[in-house]
Each structure stands twice: as C-alpha cells, then as structure tokens.
Amino acid sequence: MPQNINKIAVLTSGGDSPGMNAAIRSVVRSCAYMKLQCVAIYRGYQGMIDGDFKEMNARSVNNIINKGGTILKSARCLEFRTPEGRKKGFEQLKKHNVDALVVIGGNGSFAGALKLNEEFNFPVMGIPGTIDNDILGTSYTIGFDTAINTVVEVIDKIRDTASSHNRLFFIEVMGRDVGHIALNAGVGAGAEEILIPEQNLGLDRLLDSLKRSKKSGKSSSIVIVAEGDKTGKNVFELKEYVEEHLPIYDVRVSVLGHMQRGGNPTCFDRVLASRMGVRAVEAILEGKTNYMVGIRDSKLILTPISEAIKAHTEVDEELIRVSDIMTT
Ligand code: F6P
C-alpha cells in the first residue's frame, strides 16, 4: 500500500442514478476492509467547496444498497468549473486530510475530477453513475439497467391503454445526447418506432412506418423518442405533425421525465456498483490516479478519465437492426 493513502473521500455528482448508494456503500466498506479512513462529501463538488464532509465507517452505509437516489445528495456545481472553485475544494480536501477522491457520476463530474488532479496533483478515481449509459470505457454505467427496466414497465402499462383505444403514443424518454435508453427500452417493450439522436431517419420514414403499422392490423403503436432526438420536433410537435398527416391516428403523448432516475436499483446495478467500488479503492491503493472503473465482457477495466470523457458511447448497430426487424 502506498504510504500516502490513509484517507479516501467519496462523493456523488451530476444527475443521480439508481445504484449510486450501492457504490457509496462499496467504497466505504472497501475502505473499512482495507483499514483506511473514509469520508463522505455531501452535495457533490458544491459540498466539497463548502466543507460538507462526514466521517464514514462500515455501519454508516447500512441498509442503503436497495435505495434509489444518493444518500450523499448530488449537485451540478458551476463554481467547481472555475479555478477559484476548485482551489477552495482542494483546500477543504487538505483540511480534512484526504489523500484521494472517488467521484461517482458522469462525464461532467469526471471532467471536474481531472481538472482537480491537473491543477493540484490530487489522486482521483471515477465510477460511472448515470442512467444515460453514455460513458466511453464501460459497457454499462450504474443506473442504466434500472432505468431501462423502469421504462419498460411503464411502456407496458401505456400499451394496455393504447391498445384499448387503438391509439398511437409518443413516449419521451431521457438521454440528453444518446439513445441507449430509448433503443434498449424500445426493443424491450416492442415499440413500433424508436427515434434516437444517433439516427435521424426523418419524418417521412416515421409516417411510412405508421402507415404500414396501421395496414398490418396493429391495434396500438408506441413510438419512443429520446429527449435528444434530432428530428427537430419535440413529442408534442410530433403528435401535431402525425395528426395532420395521418388523421386516422388518435395520438397521445407521455413524457416519462425524472421517474426514470428513481426507484430501487436492479440486482444488476447493485452488483455492478459493488464491484466497481471495490476496484476503485484497490486501484487507488495500487497508486493509480485519473482512471475510471468500467466493465467490459463482464471484467472490470480501468480507462483513463481523459479517454472516458472524450466522446459518448455509440449505440449498438446490431440492436438497431433487431429493432428494425421486430417492427415488421
Ligand atoms: O443524468 C442524466 C440525465 O437524466 C439526462 O438523461 C437528462 O437529460 C438530464 O440528466 C436531466 O438533468 P436534470 O435532472 O438536471 O434536469
């Protein structure tokens, strides 16, 4: 164990995701197991700047593995984007004798961690927590599996009412820049069309597909729209467009919103978070810094944060093909 690591801090930052608590628990318990001190920082980088720290022990994280959200709270902190803000944060870390930091969050949170390291040579380690599943260097981010299961459950319910009334529903799901939630939940729920930012198929194709759907005798149609979709129309505008061009359809809209971020994490997310937390602490003890823990082919891997934040992960082309075939 490198001499200089006695105390590790952990925080959650950016949009919360189900499974973050399991990751916090894992970091705290790994520290206890490895005889390290652990301190939690509340409210992400804002709490770091404000000195909102709390010593943790193995018992501080009892009964949280099953809970959604994050017990440490989260924030999108503008002040930490400035050198002055980061300096304040670093001073608080020093004041609390912290030797390394584990950041559970997404791209923006990792960019902040990287800056902290560059400016103060402070050891940082990332754990990917976001429902969007958009981070390079990992096949799964913590929270994605729970989110897609939540979305599928809700679409199943919407399907009941849609088919009772022979209706078409536009359902907007989260995914600011990527269509992973839309594509996976769309295939899982048997959506007739899936509109994602990575693939602008155009409105004509949408109308064609809906015409075909009606002709083939379908009693309901579900179109999943990722919030970052590039058709240039939001779900309400899409409803108007279709009503104007295909008046045979009775159209409704459902925006799922933040319910997608809540709820008890699935077993997959709990296990993933537990594994990643242990690896993050181990990697710090191996003297590593500026890495993100990820998973690929069921194996944990480390990717430099600088790589992880370079771009978003691409959607699975094979899944797009499957989706196309299934909507026949
Ligand atoms: O955390 C990712 C995410 O849920 C995106 O899918 C969504 O665009 C965004 O966060 C919403 O952020 P906020 O909760 O800050 O409005």
Distance from the alpha carbon of residue 14 to the mean position of ligand 1, in angstroms: 8
- Tens of pLDDT, residue by residue over 157-181, are 999 999 999 999 999 999 989 999 9
- Cα 229 to ligand 1 centroid, rounded to whole Å: 14
Q: Return the percentage of the chain with pLDDT > 90, whole number.
A: 93
Pocket test for ligand 1, best of 17, 176, 178 (most atoms within 8 A of CB): 176
Mutate to test the pocket of ligand 1, among 77, 146, 151, 261 (most ligand atoms within 8 A of CB): 261
The contacts of residue 321 (CB under 8 Å, 6+ apart) are none
Element (H, E) at 295: strand 291-296
Question: Does ligand 1 lie within 6 Å of residue 175's CB atom?
Answer: yes
Cα 11 from Cα 22, distance rounded (Å) = 13
Helix locations, 79-202, DSSP H: 83-95, 107-120, 144-164, 180-188
Residues labelled as active-site residues: 132
Domain residue ranges in the chain: 2-143+265-308, 145-261
On whether the 145-261 domain is CATH 3.60.70.12, my answer is no
pLDDT value for 201:
83
**CB of 115 closer than 6 A to ligand 1?**
no
Confidence of residue 3 (pLDDT cuts 50, 70, 90): low
> Could you check whether 2-143+265-308 and 145-261 share the same CATH topology?
yes
Q: Whose CA is nearest to atom 2 of ligand 1?
A: 15
Q: Is the pLDDT of residue 1 over 80?
A: no
Predicted confidence (pLDDT) per residue in 20-51, tens digit: 999 999 999 999 999 999 999 999 999 999 99
Say what angle helices 180-188 and 144-164 make with each other, to 10 degrees. 50
Give the other-Cβ count within 10 Å of 139's Cβ.
15
Other C-beta atoms within 10 Å of 301: how many? 15
> In this structure, which residue's CA is closest to atom 3 in ligand 1?
15
pLDDT value at residue 218: 87
Q: Please write the tens of the pLDDT for every residue from 232-270.
A: 999 999 999 999 999 999 999 999 999 999 999 999 999
Say yes or no: domain 2-143+265-308 is CATH 3.30.2270.10.
no
Question: Each residue of 75-100: pLDDT tens digit?
Answer: 989 999 999 999 999 999 999 999 99
Check pocket membership of 260 for ligand 1, CB cut-off 6 A. no
Residue 200's pLDDT is 83
| Half-sphere exposure for 176 (CA within 13 Å, toward CB) | 10
In short, whether 69's Cβ falls inside 6 Å of ligand 1 is: no
131 lines ligand 1 (CB under 6 A): yes
Concatenating the DSSP letter of every residue in 1-29 gives: --TT--EEEEEE-SS--TTHHHHHHHHHH
Question: Which whole number is the average pLDDT over 49-66?
Answer: 98
| Residue 204 · residue 291 · CB < 8 Å | no
Which of 33, 46, 90 lies closest to 72 in space, CA to CA?
Answer: 46
- Looking at ligand 1, which residue's alpha carbon is closest to its atom 13? 15
Q: Which of 173, 167, 208 is nearest to 187 (CA)?
A: 173
Is the pTM higher than 0.85?
A: yes
Lowest mean pLDDT among 51-60, 218-227, 264-273, 297-306: 218-227
Whether the predicted pLDDT of 139 surpasses 70: yes
Residue 157's pLDDT is 98
3-class secondary structure for 56-96?
ECHHHHCCCCCCCCCCCCCCCCCHHHCHHHHHHHHHHHHHC
Report the Cα–Cα distance between both ends of the chain, in Å, rounded.
58
